[in-house]
Amino acid sequence: MTDMSRRTREDLLRILLDTATDIAALDDVEDVLQAIVRRTRTLLGTDMAYISFTDLERHETYIRQTDGVTTHGYRTLRQPLGTGVLGQIARGVAPYQTRDYLDDDHLTHIPEIDEIVRAEGVRAIMGVPLTVGGRALGALVVAERHPRAFTPEEISDVDSLGRHAAVALDKSMRFAELARTADDLAREKDHRAAQLEMISAMVSLDNELIGTMTEAPSVQRILAVGHRAIARDLELRDAEGSVVAATAEASFGGSASVPVTAGDELLGSLTAEPDVDETARALLERIAAHVALALLFLRAQDEADLRLQTEVLGDMLARPDAPREHLERWLRRWGISSGSALRVVVIEAPAAGREQRVRALRSVGDGVIIMAAHEDHICFATVDASWAERTAQLFASRGWVLRAGVAGPVDDVRLIADAHSRAQLAYGSVIALGRTGVADAADLGMLSALLDLSRRGELPASLTAPVDPLREYDASHGTSLVRTAFLFLESDGVVERVARLLHVHRNTIRQRLDRIARILGAGWDASPRRLEAHLALHVLAAREGGGSARR
């Protein structure tokens, strides 16, 4: 053995010893692999050295660590197994070398990879497979930027280093697998702990919510329990988007929202502020389920109460002569005491939206005390003097049209039937005139009865007959004698007052009155014909939007 060979073997032994020490001492396998390629390159004096890993699932090998490589494309090269030098070696069969890669026709070339090799300037390549227990793990490769043939001794030296590299590579893979397993177990442990925490929180929440439901179903109390459970403000909105109940004073947009449903029916939505995590969202859904249960319970309770109110109010209207004590005893059930001032209201409620209007009216303030739903309207009795303002605000906020009649107040429960009749007449006048708002029976008098008859098609045609000639004259001559006659009777026959209302000279009014007398005949403005003409003119003025309120 020559001195040169002896020194080479000594260098090899020292490198092998250092590598074995590194494998045993270093925790970072990547550092070990980097040390191996660096020492391999130093031992053979090549331009570069690198280690590749074999990916059997993708049927390719890819470079993992390099020393001396200058281009990014070469450092990240992936080679299909069985192609090129690297693909041949990584199959794990035997060492392989080529004196000049690009001119070697014995290899299977891939144009894209050849371009990467050409860019790096690689010519000669030699490598050995990395195997452990017959498993092909990768390859240890050296390369030159000039043609070169490697000797059997050099191939043997690289193979010796490759065996150590295979150990490091096997350790890396096993360590990575153990690390993934440990991570999976840790995640599973965390997941199960989170599930246990969620289940415990849900059981605790359910127990408290069930206790609340058993004691007294209340949406506000359920929200309070939910607020404590998830440490978030909660807001319940109905299906139309109006706030029903909340734990915060001011309304908020919310970051997390869940539907409140009963079967296929959407009752509303429950919103939390701010956003919630997975556990809190699961709890929020449980809270929503109990809210739905409370809403259904309260709805059933409300419907039963409404049916009873309808029966009681119907009894009051049908039997106004019933003993006062009997009627007052029923009203005390809903908080109305003897002698309270009651206003009776009849309000339009189309069939399509009647249920929503009933629920909304029953929830407004403390005013509605007894209610009944009839064919096209709702009637209720209230002690709230501000009911009109409250109702107008409610209807405006929901986009509903308000048409209603009111009568009262009455302080004797036996007068409710009479007040209802007058409120119904006032309601009928609003419908007949095609107007909106609230009509007070006290402001309409007999006119409300006439308009109600007109609305129902029961107004005798003869009622307006006394002034029909005036209507025909106005239609054919373009005059306004009907209005002049109406204002004349409304002003108690004072010509000057009529002239001021019509903004004309009093002589003009006298001329019109003469013409009216010629058309209707003398005495049209004196009893008994005066009353007939006045009533007929009232009906015409109301129908045409020119009633007394517009004089």
What tens digit of pLDDT does each residue of 223-238 get?
Answer: 888 888 888 888 888 8
Q: Which H or E run contains 321? A: none
**Percentage of the chain exceeding pLDDT 70:** 85
What is the distance of C-alpha 168 from the center of its chain?
A: 56
Q: In whole angstroms, what is the distance from residue 176 CA to residue 418 CA? A: 91
Q: In whole angstroms, what is the distance from residue 384 CA to residue 307 CA? A: 22
Residue 253 confidence (pLDDT) above 70:
no
Bridge-based pairing of strands 124-132 and 135-144 is antiparallel
- Confidence band, pLDDT 50/70/90 cuts, at residue 144: very high
Summarize the chain as % helix, strand, coil (round to 5).
55, 20, 25
What is the rounded average pLDDT of the residues 280-296? Answer: 84
- Confidence band, pLDDT 50/70/90 cuts, at residue 9: low
Among 74-78, 295-299, 391-395, where is mean pLDDT lowest? 295-299
Q: In whole angstroms, what is the distance from residue 362 CA to residue 349 CA? A: 14
What is the rounded average pLDDT of the residues 265-289? Answer: 83
- Confidence band, pLDDT 50/70/90 cuts, at residue 549: very low
Long-range contacts formed by 224-228: CB under 8 A, 24+ apart: 225/287, 226/283, 226/284, 226/287
Residue 63 confidence (pLDDT) above 90:
yes
Q: In whole angstroms, what is the distance from residue 154 CA to residue 132 CA? A: 21
| Angle formed at CA 312 by CA 429 and CA 297, multiple of 5 degrees | 105
The reported pLDDT for the residue numbered 548 is 38
| Angle formed at CA 385 by CA 379 and CA 387, multiple of 5 degrees | 50
The reported pLDDT for the residue numbered 116 is 95
Q: Of 188, 196, 190, 224, whose CA–CA distance to 208 is shortest?
A: 224
Q: What is the DSSP letter of 400?
A: P
Tokens of 334: 């809903």
**Percentage of the chain exceeding pLDDT 90:** 14
Q: What is the mean pLDDT of the chain?
A: 80
Number of DSSP helices (H) and strands (E) in the chain, helices first: 19, 15
Cβ contacts of 295 within 8 Å, gap of 6 or more: 219, 260, 262, 267, 268
Q: What is the pLDDT of residues 403-433, one digit of tens each?
A: 998 888 888 888 888 888 788 878 877 776 6
What is the rounded average pLDDT of the residues 49-53? Answer: 92
Q: Which H or E run contains 76? A: none
User: Per residue, what are the HEC states of 449-485?
Assistant: HHHHHHHCCCCCHHHHHHHHHHHHHHHHHCCCHHHHH
Q: What is the pLDDT of residues 83-128, one digit of tens each?
A: 998 888 888 788 999 999 999 998 999 999 999 999 999 999 999 9
Tokens of 206: 């359910």
User: Per residue, what are the HEC states of 144-196?
Assistant: ECCCCCCCHHHHHHHHHHHHHHHHHHHHHHHHHHHHHHHHHHHHHHHHHHHHH
What is the rounded average pLDDT of the residues 51-68? Answer: 91
Bridge-based pairing of strands 78-80 and 368-373 is unpaired
- Confidence band, pLDDT 50/70/90 cuts, at residue 15: low
Contact 436, 499 (CB under 8 A): no
Q: What is the pLDDT of residues 431-489, one digit of tens each?
A: 766 778 888 877 765 555 566 655 555 555 566 778 888 888 888 988 888 888 888 88
The reported pLDDT for the residue numbered 30 is 79
Contact 525, 487 (CB under 8 A): no
The reported pLDDT for the residue numbered 14 is 65
Domains of the chain: 3-178 (3.30.450.40), 216-299 (3.30.450.40), 319-455 (3.30.70.270), 461-550 (no CATH)
